[in-house]
Amino acid sequence: MPSQPSRDLEVFTNPAPENDYTIHIEIPEFSCLCPKTGQPDFATISIDYVPDLNCIELKSLKLYIWSFRNEGAFHEAVTNQMLRDFTDACNPRFMRVSGRFNVRGGIYTTVVAEQRKPGWIAPSTVTLP
């Protein structure tokens, strides 16, 4: 049976919960509909997160992203909805979701939403020679 769009996000156990490490996911083919005109909007969605006990499973993420294709959504609303859904699913130490929406009427829009787990402090950056 072919895959269908779904809002059900699956997770798997973080293989290295003792480490702070970043997972970067780039989704260049996001689309939804403009809630005012019904015309398609296209964006690149970037997800950067530091997992805690769970990580987001990528096939379910693909089906989740697909679920927006025929839905009207303002850029700000859809980016923040993704952040809520992703953090509800995997409860990361830190997560940032960025939506870089393609030009519409001569205007590009980028929306960045982030959430930090209470008490989590980002490790300092190491600079090597």
In tens, the pLDDT along 73-114 reads 999 999 999 999 999 999 999 999 999 999 988 999 999 999
pLDDT(71) > 90:
yes
Does the annotation mark 85 as catalytic? no
Whole-angstrom distance between the N-terminal and C-terminal Cα of the chain? 53
- What local confidence, expressed as pLDDT, does residue 125 receive? 87
In a domain, 1, yes or no: no
Detail the DSSP E strand segments found in 4-63: 11-13, 23-33, 40-50, 54-56
Total domains in the fold of the chain: 1
Residue 55, Cβ density class (10 Å: 0-12 exposed, 13-18 middle, ≥19 buried): buried
Mean pLDDT of 40-52: 97
Task: Please give the structure tokens belonging to residue 37.
Answer: 């005109």
pLDDT(66) > 90:
yes
In a domain, 4, yes or no: no
In a domain, 123, yes or no: no
54-56/107-116 β-pairing: unpaired
- What local confidence, expressed as pLDDT, does residue 1 receive? 59
Does the annotation mark 8 as catalytic? no
CATH of the domain at 91: 3.30.1130.10
Distance of CA 91 to the CA centre of its chain: 13
- What local confidence, expressed as pLDDT, does residue 105 receive? 82
Annotated catalytic residue within 32, 41, 55, 90: 41
Annotated catalytic residue within 34, 48, 52, 85: 34
State which residues form the domain around 53. Answer: 11-116
In a domain, 126, yes or no: no
Under 8 Å CB-to-CB from 3, ≥6 apart: which residues? 63
In a domain, 3, yes or no: no
In a domain, 2, yes or no: no
Q: Is the pTM of the predicted complex or chain greater than 0.75? A: yes
